[in-house]
Amino acid sequence: MTTRMVLIIEYVGTRYYGFQLQASLPTVQSEIEKALHKLTGESSRVMAASRTDTGVHARGQVVSFRTESPLPVERFVAGVNYYLPADIAVKAAYKVPVAFNVRREAISREYSYHILSSDTRSPLRVAFSYRVRGQLNIEAMNRACLALVGEHDFISFASALEKGKSTVRRVYQAKVEKHKDLVVFSIVANSFLPHQVRNTVGALIRVGLSRMMVDEFCSIIDERKPGLAGPCVPACG
């Protein structure tokens, strides 16, 4: 009998070309599908609630697949992990209705971007943060974040757009917090456009360094010109 499974996965994306399958390139999806094949003997196509760019990490990405395997739910965690490389892990597994669509039924998505505010590099954090020299004005960055909240056309913050696709998104929360020398931008939305988060962070850093006024940041949304925001920050953060 066919069932549908959901996996919650975590990974370090440094050596992968994003989540989605790509010909002759290592991706997270290809690794999970290979592990599932070794565990169940089936060729299962894995779907994700959202995709990630090359080099982006994930703490709780949701993926699903169909299976006829009689293995109990708990075996999928240990079994898939056994065959996965060390930089990808399944954290939990659930059985859901066969009609469940992991993309359409996602209520929201959340990204966080880590900025190392330091004049010196950090070898321990280089793979998980983007270093910015100079002090960032967190208050000004949060004033700019207020303009992001709500339903807006975010075309100015996107790149690699698909023709005919809507660029309107609803942002539920956007904020910047500082933890010693680490500045973290967090954003929750119904979904995101390609590179939207990384372009947003690029513009926010300019605000934080007083290279852009908050009003100028707000005008980026209003002007609705593709690629106006940025620069696009590295995926490592």
Catalytic annotation on 53?
yes
User: What is the rounded CA–CA span in Å between residue 87 and residue 13?
Assistant: 8
CA within 13 Å, CB half, 26: 11
User: What is the rounded CA–CA span in Å between residue 179 and residue 208?
Assistant: 15
- Gyration radius from the chain CA atoms: 19
Q: Catalytic: which of 53, 87, 153, 181?
A: 53
Give alpha helix (H) positions in 9-95. 28-40, 73-83
**DSSP sequence for 163-182:** TT---EEEEEEEEEEEETTE
User: What is the rounded CA–CA span in Å between residue 188 and residue 171?
Assistant: 6
Q: 193: which 2 tokens?
A: 């456009």
- Residue 63: closest CA among 43, 49, 73, 74: 49
Q: Could you list the active site residues?
A: 53
